[in-house]
Structure 1
Amino acid sequence: MTSSCGRSTRRCDPGAVTVESALVIPALVLFFGALLCGLGAFAAQSLCQDAARAGARAAARGEPAEEVSRVARDIAPGNARVEVGRDGAFVRVDVSVPSWATGVLGLAVEGRAVAHVEPD
């Protein structure tokens, strides 16, 4: 004799699929959310590095610090912090973005570039 589930040796438990789905779907949502946050941090990291390089090139050409900061801010993400420093014949440009991922995940979203200042 077979049951309504089609098998005679196993008990039919239609609620098992619901419970498994209730456990798996939130885990998948968290996984994809973390994946998207990681991709966002990677994109911001790339923008910060590109901004630091552009700022360092401008500083190497002899542009004033305000112009170097403007060049870097044009490329960097919206809330980026730009710092320009000079050490002898070298100029350093640091671009960083405050992010919740920095504290929670330990991801630093920043870029740094150093360039040799060209002679006048």
Structure 2
Amino acid sequence: MTGVRALREIPRERGSVTAELAVLLPAVVLILVAVLVAAAIGVAQVRCADAARAGARAAAVGQSQAEVVELAQGVAGPDAVVSVQEDGAWVQVRVVAEVPLGPLGGLLEVSAELSAPVEPGVP
């Protein structure tokens, strides 16, 4: 009797997988978009940190500010804003970039700054 009973219950559950998929698919897509945006933000942050490090090292060994900005923008991207400050025995490079949030809309600003001592013998 249980075999007959099981056969009668099958048609009532028909289409439930489709309904569940229709409900869960937008949530899965939203989570995927959030993960991709978070990855883009992380990559931009690492690029800014690398650019600040490279720029500070270049400034510490005596390269001009224009060369330092060009080097840092080459690492962080052409849209990055690079500022160089020299304060006696130290140089500081700050790199700021904006990351588009894709379908979420808007921009997020990421930045990094690094200070390095000026190398001895550098004017």
Q: TM-score range by the shorter chain?
A: 0.7 to 0.9
SS at match of 1:99: strand
1:32 aligns with 2:32: yes
CA RMSD across the alignment = 2.5
Contact 1:56–1:93, Cα closer than 8 Å, also in 2: yes
Structure with higher helix content: 2
| Matching residue's letter, 2:7 | G
1:1-120 equivalences under 5 Å are 2=4, 6-8=7-9, 12-101=12-101, 108-120=109-121
Q: Distance in 1 between matches of 2:115 and 2:38?
A: 27
What is the aligned residue count? 116
Sequence identity (%): 41
Structure 2: runs of 5+ lacking an equivalent: none
| Matching residue's letter, 2:53 | R
TM-score w.r.t. length of structure 2? 0.80
Deviation at 1:106, TM superposition (A): 9.5
Deviation at 1:78, TM superposition (A): 3.3
| Matching residue's letter, 1:30 | L
SS at match of 1:96: strand
Contact 1:44–1:77, Cα closer than 8 Å, also in 2: no
Contact 2:40–2:99, Cα closer than 8 Å, also in 1: no
Q: Distance in 2 between matches of 1:86 and 1:23?
A: 57
TM-score w.r.t. length of structure 1? 0.82
Q: Distance in 2 between matches of 1:25 and 1:91?
A: 51
